[in-house]
Amino acid sequence: MLALYKIKKMNRIKPSLPKGTRDFGPNEMEKREYVINKFKEVFNLYGFKPIQTPSIENTETLVGNYGNEGDRLIFNILNSGNFLKDSKREDFNVPKRLKSKISNKALRYDLTVPLARYVSMNQDKLTLPFKRYQIQPVWRADRPQKGRFREFYQCDVDYIGTNSRICEAEIIDLVYTIFEKLKIKSFDFKLNNRKILQGITEILGISDNFNELCVIIDKIDKIGIEKFEKELKINNYNSSSITSLIEIFQFRGTNKEKISFIKKKISGSKIGIEGINEIKNILNFNKNFSLDFSLARGLSYYTSSIFEVKSKNNDLGSLCGGGRYENLTEKFGVKSMPGIGISFGIERIIELLANNDILQSNYSKNKILISFLDAKFIPQCLKIAKKIRENNISVDLISDNFKLKKQLKYANKNKIPYVLIVGEDEINSNLYTLKNMQKGKQEKKSIDEIISKMNSIVNNA
């Protein structure tokens, strides 16, 4: 009795989630798995191979790759046990020093840097170019808002060990293929080259501020050109540089016209002309993109091509983005290992498709509830279920002795489109009642005929 009393006296915890995280119920998971399976299907078509890396990385692996703003969003993990044992009183006055003593691990911020670490550790086992895809959660200590979470999935494809511009052309094509399968039609594929941005800063005499400027440029879509101008003034850029930057970023025209325009602006920059030539090379293979000089990608590891895809009809932000990087593996002692990749924002893509019928998995279209009129028919139902499942058709079976009305209600609540009813007449005739729950129509068919019908539903979906 005393133990029971103690349990009653315990403080009850109100169930809650940390901000920026979510639970997913069965309906949400069906939709998510449908989208993720579409991604995997296309990645495999393009010859990419899956890998996985740990959720936790050493802090030194992650820090220094994302710029100052990105590094501040890394979720650090306290050392196990007495994490303060190596700390001194004076360490508490120097946050960086304290952090280095109490935490040496962190949750991964993205999938690209762990990929660089993986490649560096396994370079002798990999055949180059190495093409990988990875679909796993990442964590950022960001302020939660619409379309932005602290825990979310990233979905990446990367080429490692090649400088070929065919990679850019293939990535463009891959994006169009995935969005076609998901019936996302209205979007912009924007492309730029970091070398062009370097050329611009070189000509304007502000190349020392390149990384800082890229972070500011990366905000243009969110804050608009007027606030962008104000931020440049706050950061002490001179009026001549600001006027030139705004002129470049607001120029409109075809890709050919944009190349001609920027070539005149940065003709005195060797690295800038190199970037222009790389874009021309991509145009030889694929023209399905819009050149956008205001695209910067705030992450500091990009060195050449950069790209971003946004929906035209939604303010969710970037649906996917990425670029080319040259030096990510050098911090691990591995040189001459260039790479290029793109990361898909699965969370935003699912949100974009939230009200679209496409988010319905094949197995839920091809699903049957086997319903019995009497509990004595359950053994026969189990045999029928086994045969149907052997044909890759999803089958649910009521485990309790419910009346037929309650079984049909169960099917409706769980969005099961078909119910196969088993009774005395059905067993004797080997013709079973198949009820279409959406249309309310019933028909008598043999088990083989039902299997054939269900398979045709998927094939014609």
For 191-205, write each residue's pLDDT tens digit: 999 999 999 999 999
Structure tokens at 338: 């260039």
CA angle, residues 75, 76, 78, in degrees to nearest 5: 140
**Three-state secondary-structure class, residue 61:** helix
| Residue 11 maps to a domain | no
Name all contacts of 1-6 with Cβ < 8 Å and 24+ positions apart.
none
How many C-beta neighbours within 10 Å does residue 35 have? 22
Whether 139 and 108 have beta carbons less than 8 Å apart is answered as: yes
Residues 182 and 203 in one domain: no
User: Does an H or E element contain 368, and which?
Assistant: strand 367-372
Indicate the number of domains in the chain.
Answer: 3
At residue 7, does pLDDT exceed 60? no
Do 355 and 366 lie in a common domain? no
Cβ–Cβ under 8 Å, residues 232 and 242: yes
- Rounded to whole angstroms, how far apart are CA atoms 411 and 140? 40
Distance CA 75, CA 56 (A): 10
SS3 366: coil
Q: For residues 250 and 225, what is the distance between their CA atoms, to the nearest angstrom?
A: 9
Identify whether 10 is part of a domain.
no
Please give the pLDDT value at position 66: 83
CB–CB of 275/262 below 8 Å? Answer: no
List Cβ neighbours of 180 (8 Å cut-off, separation of 6 or more): none
Of 339, 360, 381, the position where a domain reaches its end is 360
Q: What does the pLDDT read at residue 187?
A: 93
- Domain extent for 330: 20-186+312-360
What band does 380 get if pLDDT is binned at 50, 70 and 90?
very high
59 and 174 fall within a common domain:
yes
Residue 251 lies inside a defined structural domain of this protein: yes
Let me know whether 294 and 353 are in one domain: no
In degrees and rounded to multiples of 5, residue 303 shows phi and psi of -125, -15
> CATH number for the domain including 432?
3.40.50.800
Identify the three-state secondary structure at position 286: coil
**Looking at the structure, do residues 289 and 417 belong to the same domain, yes or no?**
no
Same domain, 290 and 338: no
- Residue 338 sits in a domain whose CATH number is 3.30.930.10
Contacts 24+ apart (CB under 8 A), 328-332: 328/65, 328/112, 328/113, 328/116, 328/301, 329/116, 329/119, 329/120, 331/64, 331/116, 332/116, 332/117, 332/120, 332/121
Is 49 inside any structural domain? yes
Give the Cα separation of 329 and 337 in Å (integer): 7
Nearest to 39 by CA among 171, 146, 156: 156
Average pLDDT, the chain: 88
The two tokens of residue 242 are 């600001």
What DSSP string describes 68-90?
HHHHHT--EEPPSS-TTTT--GG
112 and 167 belong to one structural domain? yes
**Residue among 325, 304, 107, 114 at smallest CA distance from 194:** 304
Tell whether 97 and 236 lie within a shared domain.
Answer: no
Closest alpha carbon to 191 in 158, 167, 220, 168: 168
| Separation of alpha carbons 320 and 150, rounded Å | 17
Please tell me whether residues 157 and 245 are part of one structural domain.
Answer: no
For residues 107 and 41, membership in a common domain is answered with yes
Q: How many angstroms separate the CA atoms of 269 and 246, rounded? A: 19
For residue 449, tell me if it sits in a domain.
yes
One domain, residues 246 and 144: no
Give the integer Cα–Cα distance in Å for 170 and 162.
13
Amino acid at 128: L
Residue 99 in domain: yes
* Average pLDDT estimate for 402-428: 92
156 and 37 part of one domain: yes
Instruction: Please name the amino acid found at residue 99.
Output: K
Write down the pLDDT at residue 146: 72
Structure tokens, 262 = 């920027």
**Better-scored residue on pLDDT, 239 or 222:** 239
Reply yes or no on whether the pLDDT at 1 is more than 80.
no
Helix then strand count (H, E) for the chain reads 19, 16
pLDDT for 397 beyond 60: yes
User: How sure is the predictor about 305, in pLDDT bands with cuts at 50, 70 and 90?
Assistant: very high
Choose one of 301, 327, 351: the last residue of a domain. 301
Residue 380 included in any domain = yes
> Which pLDDT does position 287 carry in this prediction?
96
List pLDDT tens digits, range 50-99.
999 999 999 999 988 887 778 889 998 887 767 676 776 666 665 666 66
How many Å apart are CA 372 and CA 404, to the nearest integer?
7
Per-residue pLDDT of 29-41, as tens digits, reads: 888 998 999 999 9
Q: Are 31 and 355 in contact (CB under 8 A)?
A: no
Long-range contacts of 223-226 (CB under 8 A, 24+ apart): 225/249, 225/250
Q: What is the pLDDT of residue 151?
A: 93
Q: Please give the pLDDT value at position 30.
A: 84
In a domain, 307, yes or no: no
Mean pLDDT check: name the lowest of 230-244, 343-357, 386-400, 441-455: 343-357
Rg of the chain taking only CA atoms, in angstroms: 28
